[in-house]
């Protein structure tokens, strides 16, 4: 795509939670480097909701119309449909910004990545100010030589309350579960900051027939660093609580609840960065930074977004966990 000062024509396939969040981030900015060229979802009620909230966004008849209207296509549909829409967009000469996971079929995902094409996957930690703070602390020696990473996620229930409209697939084994939906983000962060994910072992619990996992207890390595990963549904009050904690011979840093960068003090307690803000306020900021990355990606410029290859590496580990 040639460089231009014109806003990038972005099309959206999928009018669920993520499509709506991206729209809110775009329209919540005074100026945006993208314009929404079209949106489509197979569910009429989803499109009607978008029309009520964002009346200026063109709603079109099908996915092909989104591709035709756009320079870049954001694929925000359920996971099993990602690669079909992404391939159609790439075949038409468009770039692709795909929601995670890249897919649920590892063989198909490997083939897709091998096919090439201009695109990226939406792991917002790639543009997170909280993650930037962790990286700055790590570079300044706050951790020293990394010794271990501990990742813990917990949910009062699954799906989370705000995902109720998507519960049909989010709580099914074929496409859903918190490992794909949430843990994948923290595995991406481990891969991005520490290195390749390897040496998986552990267990996963599926106590309810036909429904997604309710607990995981696994170990792996990230760039050779030992990783302990746990996940639970139930037993906590919080809808969504998580920590990503890196410890080394000089200290420890962590990311708490998606957004808050914290550093362990001499007293052994973690204290947040002075200007840290919670995820509800940080999310639109991070998404707008992701959108800026999408524009650079579509123009062939350097960008921080997760590549298809990185997303495939995360998917390989996620699907291996689900198969334990």
Q: How far apart are CA 31 and CA 266, in angstroms?
A: 44
Q: Based on the domain organization, do 27 and 145 belong to the same domain? A: no
**Tokens at 177, concatenated:** 């579960």
Residues 271-309 as b/e (b if ≥16 CB within 10 A, e otherwise) read ebbeebeebeebbbbbbbbbbbbbbbbbbeeebbbbebe
Other CB atoms within 10 Å distance of the CB of residue 136: 13
Judge whether 188 lies within some domain.
yes
pLDDT in tens, the chain (324 residues): 445 578 999 999 999 999 999 999 998 887 899 999 999 999 999 999 999 999 999 999 999 999 999 999 999 999 999 999 999 999 999 999 999 999 999 999 999 999 999 999 999 999 999 999 999 999 999 999 999 999 999 999 999 999 988 999 999 999 999 999 999 999 999 999 999 999 999 999 999 999 999 999 999 999 999 999 999 999 999 999 999 999 999 999 999 999 999 999 999 999 999 999 999 999 999 999 999 999 999 999 999 999 999 999 999 999 999 999
Q: Based on the domain organization, do 190 and 106 belong to the same domain? A: no
Residue 4 pLDDT: 59
Q: Based on the domain organization, do 117 and 100 belong to the same domain? A: yes
Q: Give the DSSP H or E segment for 198.
A: strand 197-205
Contact by Cβ (8 Å): 72, 12 = no
C-alpha radius of gyration, the chain, whole number? 19
- CATH code of the domain covering residue 220: 3.30.360.10
End-to-end alpha carbon distance in the chain: 43
Residue 29 pLDDT: 80
Contact by Cβ (8 Å): 193, 134 = yes
Q: Based on the domain organization, do 31 and 106 belong to the same domain? A: yes
Q: Based on the domain organization, do 94 and 149 belong to the same domain? A: no
Residue 244 pLDDT: 98
Q: Based on the domain organization, do 90 and 143 belong to the same domain? A: no
- The number of distinct structural domains making up the chain is 2
Distances (CA, A) of 147 to 14, 150, 152, 195: 41, 10, 17, 14
Judge whether 3 lies within some domain.
no
Q: How far apart are CA 34 and CA 45, in angstroms?
A: 25
Please tell me the number of Cα atoms within 13 Å of 218 on its side-chain side: 29
**Tokens at 310, concatenated:** 């990185």
- CATH code of the domain covering residue 27: 3.40.50.720
Q: How far apart are CA 300 and CA 297, in angstroms?
A: 5
Q: How far apart are CA 260 and CA 284, in angstroms?
A: 15
Judge whether 138 lies within some domain.
yes
Q: Based on the domain organization, do 52 and 167 belong to the same domain? A: no
Q: Based on the domain organization, do 115 and 154 belong to the same domain? A: no
Judge whether 2 lies within some domain.
no
- For residue 211, the 8-state DSSP code is B
Q: Based on the domain organization, do 242 and 200 belong to the same domain? A: yes
Judge whether 70 lies within some domain.
yes
Q: Based on the domain organization, do 301 and 251 belong to the same domain? A: no
Q: Based on the domain organization, do 204 and 151 belong to the same domain? A: yes
Other CB atoms within 10 Å distance of the CB of residue 91: 11
Q: How far apart are CA 103 and CA 238, in angstroms?
A: 29
- Domain interval for residue 166: 126-277+313-322
Residue 2 pLDDT: 46
Judge whether 114 lies within some domain.
yes
Distances (CA, A) of 175 to 168, 229, 237: 10, 21, 26
Contact by Cβ (8 Å): 93, 115 = no
Q: Give the DSSP H or E segment for 189.
A: helix 184-193
Q: How far apart are CA 175 and CA 203, in angstroms?
A: 19
Judge whether 145 lies within some domain.
yes
Q: Based on the domain organization, do 222 and 290 belong to the same domain? A: no
**Nearest residue to 95 via CA among 288, 286, 305, 289:** 305
Judge whether 49 lies within some domain.
yes
What value, to the nearest 5°, has the Cα angle with vertex 260 and ends 259 and 266?
Answer: 155
pTM over 0.75: yes
């Amino acid at each position: 795509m040639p460089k231009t000062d014109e806003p990038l024509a972005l099309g959206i396939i999928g009018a669920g939670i993520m499509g709506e969040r991206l729209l809110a981030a775009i329209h919540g900015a005074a100026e945006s480097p993208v314009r929404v060229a079209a949106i489509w979802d197979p569910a009429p009620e989803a499109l009607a909701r978008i029309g009520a909230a964002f009346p200026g966004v063109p709603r079109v008849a099908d996915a092909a119309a989104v591709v035709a209207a756009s320079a870049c296509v954001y694929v925000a549909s359920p996971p099993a449909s990602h690669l079909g829409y992404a391939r159609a967009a790439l075949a038409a000469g468009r770039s692709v910004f795909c929601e995670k996971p890249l897919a649920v079929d590892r063989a198909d995902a490997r083939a897709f990545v091998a096919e090439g094409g201009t695109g990226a996957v939406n792991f917002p930690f790639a543009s997170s100010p909280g993650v930037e703070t962790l990286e700055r602390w790590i570079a300044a020696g706050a951790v020293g030589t990394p010794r271990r990473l501990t990742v813990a996620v917990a949910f009062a229930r699954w799906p989370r309350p705000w995902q109720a409209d998507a519960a049909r697939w989010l709580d099914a084994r074929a496409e859903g579960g918190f490992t794909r939906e949430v843990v994948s983000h923290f595995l991406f962060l481990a891969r991005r900051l520490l290195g390749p994910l390897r040496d998986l072992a552990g267990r996963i619990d599926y106590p309810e027939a036909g429904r997604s996992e309710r607990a995981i207890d696994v170990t792996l390595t990230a760039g050779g660093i030992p990783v302990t990963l746990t996940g639970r549904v139930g037993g906590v009050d919080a809808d969504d609580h998580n920590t990503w904690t890196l410890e080394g011979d000089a200290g420890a840093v962590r990311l708490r609840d998606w957004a808050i960068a914290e550093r362990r003090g001499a007293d052994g307690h973690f204290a947040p960065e002075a200007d840290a803000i919670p995820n509800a306020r940080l999310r639109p900021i991070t998404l707008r930074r992701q959108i800026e990355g999408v524009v650079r990606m579509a123009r062939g410029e350097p960008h921080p977004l997760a590549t298809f290859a990185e997303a495939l590496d995360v998917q390989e580990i996620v699907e291996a966990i689900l198969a334990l």
